[in-house]
Amino acid sequence: MTPAFPLVPERASTLAGEVDSVFLFILGVTGFFAVAIWIAMLWFAIRYRRRSAADRPPAIHPSVLLELTWTLVPLGLMVVMFVWGARVYFHMNRPPDDAMTVTVVGKRWMWKIQHPTGQREINELHVPEGRAVKLLITSEDTIHSFFVPAFRIKRDAVPGRYNTAWFRATKPGRYHLFCAEYCGTEHSKMTGWIVVLPPGEYQTWLAGGPPPESPAAAGEKLFTELNCVTCHRPDSAGRGPVLVGIFGKPVKLATGDTVVADESYVRESILNPAARVVAGYQPVMPTYQGQVTEEQLIALVAYVKSLQAPAPAAAAAGRAR
Ligand code: CUA
């Protein structure tokens, strides 16, 4: 049973225990020293108070051992906090490779969510228990913040860029979702629920409702409608770079620099094509700023991501063996 005033929120993700352990350790250490220093201060104030107008206290010769102790013990405690905290931080910020990507777009005043298979939800996210879920978070107006206390995740939704967070839910249930960044008059109403279902029930949930269109399929349509295909052809005869197999790979730029073709780079190249031009190409692409919404951008990025190069025959044969 949960107590009326729990020290920490319910723990419902694999990260929750890790975050709480670091937090409680730091709270314990700082709490202990705050109390110890306060008591010592009081005791010293009374014990060494001025007793007469002409007090002549004896000279003090500091002890090297004492100095070393109160330097090295706090140093050791700080190093423990740093190393432990950094490990948890890196774990929180590196989604596992097998995570399913759910896109989240913040908007005054709602959360628009889409599953990799295309299902859309507003202010609700259904996820299977035990599966790693990576969130690709952005905003179409102002800064919001996607906050699920039970999972110990909080990530800003910033217009113009993609932020990521991930979690693996550990028990079925409904968990509160908040916007944790003041975003206007109805900020406090910008809440929702994460619904964690047993894997079987999640499949049933996915199958309900009208057949959805995946972001990649929607992106493919847009790619034709916006005439991207005329320059980005699958062969190398187009005026723009071939997009097949580039996602996640390093790309050489006209400036000589190299950039990894991730979600943010693809997005930037659609809105501001001249910013980082691929080596060997002219900056002839027009901007699509104002012509595509954040959700259409996500669809286009998903389409580019889906354009994986067919595996070379030799490698495929090697894997088959
Ligand atoms: Cu959105 Cu506060």
pLDDT at 284: 84
pLDDT at residue 280, rounded to an integer: 85
Tens digit of each residue's pLDDT (9 = 90 or more) over 242-292: 888 888 889 899 888 999 998 889 888 888 888 899 988 888 888 888 888
Shortest-distance Cα residue to atom 1 of ligand 1: 144
Confidence of residue 311 (pLDDT cuts 50, 70, 90): low
How many other CB atoms are there within 10 angstroms of residue 247's CB atom?
21
CA of 191 to the centre of ligand 1 (A): 8
More confident residue, 303 or 310: 303
Q: Which residues neighbour 245 within 8 Å (Cβ) at sequence distance 6 or greater?
A: 307, 308, 309
pLDDT range class, residue 19, cuts 50, 70, 90? very high
The set of residues, in sequence order, having a beta carbon less than 8 Å from that of 167 and lying 6+ positions away, is 13, 14, 15, 132, 133, 135, 148, 151, 153
**In the predicted model, is pLDDT for residue 316 greater than 50?**
no
Residue 318 has pLDDT above 70, yes or no: no
* Residue 230 confidence (pLDDT): 82
Q: Is 190 in the pocket of ligand 1 (CB under 6 A)?
A: yes
For the CA of 181, the nearest atom of ligand 1: 2
Question: Who contacts 69 (Cβ-Cβ below 8 Å, separation ≥6)?
Answer: none
State the pairing for strand pair 132-139/144-148: unpaired
Task: Give the closest residue to 182 by CA, choosing from 136, 229, 142.
Answer: 142
Q: What are phi and psi of 25, to 5 degrees?
A: -60, -50
pLDDT digits (tens, 9 = 90+) for 214-243: 888 888 888 888 888 888 887 777 788 888
Question: For ligand 1, is residue 267 a contact (CB within 6 Å)?
Answer: no
- Neighbouring C-beta atoms of residue 14, cutoff 10 Å: 17
